[in-house]
Structure formats: C-alpha cells, structure tokens
Amino acid sequence: MIVSPSALDAFLGASDKIALVRLAVAKGSTPRAAGTWMLVSEEAMLGTIGGGQMEFLAIDTARKLLGEAGSQSPVLDLALGPEIGQCCGGRVTLKVVLLGADEEAAIRAEVAANADALPSVYVFGAGHVGRALVKALALLPVRAVLVDSREEELDRAGPEAEKQLTALPEEVVRAAKPGSAFVGMTHEHSLDFLIVREALLRGDAAYVGMIGSKTKRASFERYSARQEPTVDAARLVCPIGAQGSRDKRPEVIAAFVAAEVIAVLTAETAATPAETAGA
C-alpha cells in the first residue's frame, strides 16, 4: 500500500491517539519485509503489514493498547502457519506502540522520502483517456502529472490529480528527472510528435509512449527522420496499451497503459517471492 504525505496528514489529523505496528523481524516466507509498518486508530488504519490473520491480530492488539491507559507495549511473535489461518510458512515479530512525537517524525520523514523517490509519469493531454490514465496511476507507486495547455480540460480531472498548465510541454519534458515516463495523448498529432521526440532525445526516459495507430507511428518516424535523425524511434511505444484488448473505452485503455508503464518502472524492483502480498 502506498502512503502519500497528504494521506498521512489526514490520518494523523483525524485521531488524537494512534498505535504504530511495525514488523520488526521477518523470517522465511512473509507477506512483507522487516521494517514495514501500519498505523491504527480506533476507527481506521493506514498502511499494511501484509494482510490476512496476522494483520487482524495486530489491529486487535493495537486497539486494545489504545483503550488501556498505562499498559505496556506488546510484542507479537507469530508463526505464519495453520494455527492462525495462514500458510506462508515464515515467522514474524510485531511491535505495537503508541505513536509518540519521535515515531511520528520518523514516519513523516520516511513517507516524504518515499514520495520524493517515486518515478514520475507525465501524461500529456487532459482528454478522456488522459484523465482516466491519471486516475489509474493514482493507485500505483508513481507520481502522475497531467499536463495540458487547456485549463478547462485540466479542471475536469478533479482536485486530487497533480496538474501542470503550460503552453510549452516540451519544457516539462526537459525539466523532468531522469528515469521518468512520458505518455503523449494530446488533441493534436503534431503536439504528440513534439512531446515524444523531446522525450526520446533525453536518452534517459524509462518509457516513452504515444496514443495512436501503427499509421500514426509510421508518420512519427517520417517526421522524426526529418527533424532529428539521431532520435531512436524504435524506443517509442505506439500503439500504447495494446496487450490484446480491442475495447476503446477510455478506462479500459487507461488500465492497459498503466499496466504497461508500471511494468517498465518496476522491472528492477519487483517483490521477491517472500514479499508477495497475500503470501
């Protein structure tokens, strides 16, 4: 589960008393790695230590701690086997404490650092598919930015989306950090061509995609050869999200494109079998 700074602020502001559950030790096959944490209040939770009966037991323990003034911070030593209804086969040690100032500061710093480290995905074009793609990406460990020159179209994306209003999208491409992903899906083919050409010229983009057909790709290759022969057009993904579905609804296209982008961005950070959710 991805915890954003804004989600953390909202959670901390909603409760006066919060428990911190941290996975202190993880041996063998476990749903999450040591150091993973979650916050528990009387009414809600933020984060996850892996789900299943292990997490239910941790939540129950945390809420008992919240309700018992002066009680000691418990430690749970759990074998993830049939006795608790899980079959991971590993063993975990969970520490449950009341969230104090020091723990809160550490959690805030960790969440901020994780947010800064997220790869950026720039979606150029706030049309139906662009808005749907940003919404799909919001569930993934990326920073998604919707870019357009039309303020009224950006406004349609809602307040939760990060937006950038600009008449010079190529400057956004140039200013992006290394390893970013770029998706061109604007209202003009020539603008898409400009954006993806700039992204390919960088040489360090993790993913460069453009909405359209094989015919549009061929047109871009001819355009690119005239404008900048050194561009490696072979690195362009076009059509995008073409993993087998012929469904052209914006939300369906967005789902396939989001999967395509995240597969590239997480290729080197995929979870090991011992850290797979639901183990």
The predicted model scores a pTM of 0.76
pLDDT grade for 228, boundaries at 50, 70 and 90:
confident
- DSSP designation for 200: H
Burial of 212: CB neighbours in 10 Å, binned 0-12, 13-18, 19+: middle
For residue 32, the 8-state DSSP code is S
Domain residue spans in the chain? 5-115, 118-265
Q: Is 267 helix (H, G, I), strand (E, B) or coil?
A: coil
Average pLDDT for 164-186: 96
Q: How much of the chain exceeds pLDDT 90, in percent?
A: 69
Q: Looking at residues 143-170, what average pLDDT do you find?
A: 92
Architecture of domain 118-265: 3-Layer(aba) Sandwich (3.40)
Which candidate, 226, 148, 225, places its Cα nearest to that of 183? 148
**Tens digit of each residue's pLDDT (9 = 90 or more) over 31-86:** 889 999 999 999 999 999 988 889 999 999 999 999 987 678 899 988 887 766 66
Strand partners, 19: 40, 98
